[in-house]
Structure 1
């Protein structure tokens, strides 16, 4: 089992259990075909480094006291992991459309969660508050579309 955990893992395959069990850093290895935008390695991999940006366990604490877990990508994105689904509060330079907003709202409502949500990354301590989906508009301003 430990040998299996040592292998690089595709980011989309990371689970909350993985994040709770290990620290993870982004991994680049051209010879083996691992792209740092797509793969991470756990702290039991020989190439793990605390000096590389990490994919961190994050806790989302909602206004009504409920919480969920997910990850922080080391830049701006905080994502809730719910089974095989991700729910992002950060869209970068892509403006979220009505479907994106409806999808996140459906998750929040169906799980009886109340916004705003305060999220904190486990290792770096990075923290942010969201009342909806945030993105950067063409003028470089951070905009939040409330749900």
Structure 2
């Protein structure tokens, strides 16, 4: 059973992340709407703080990228933002995060869809959706995260 949650605009989450980190963060992402939101609403004050696949359409890039950044810059408090569905593309890599003690923060937003895929299907195919929404098939991500030895 899923509890109804108050909706929070992803743009607000990204702006809050910027305020909380004071712009002193590496931000990684996969591909999709969250990538666009980060590029538009996180004010990157320093060079090389925005790590993404550069438009190559790589779902699952964000977590391994955050791990690499954290290993390269051990003094830094790593940060990853990720859309929930894409988390499932790389959750096996999450086993490595606690085992090598990486202080990565995962901000997991949920729109129960591959947002950009759904957006394009709505616009280009009259709302005929194919494999882009997942309201009834998403796992409990807090429990999944805790099963990896992290807290959620």
TM-score when scaled to structure 1? 0.25
> Whose strand fraction is larger, Structure 1's or Structure 2's?
1
Tell me the TM-score normalized by structure 2: 0.24
**Bigger helix fraction:** 2
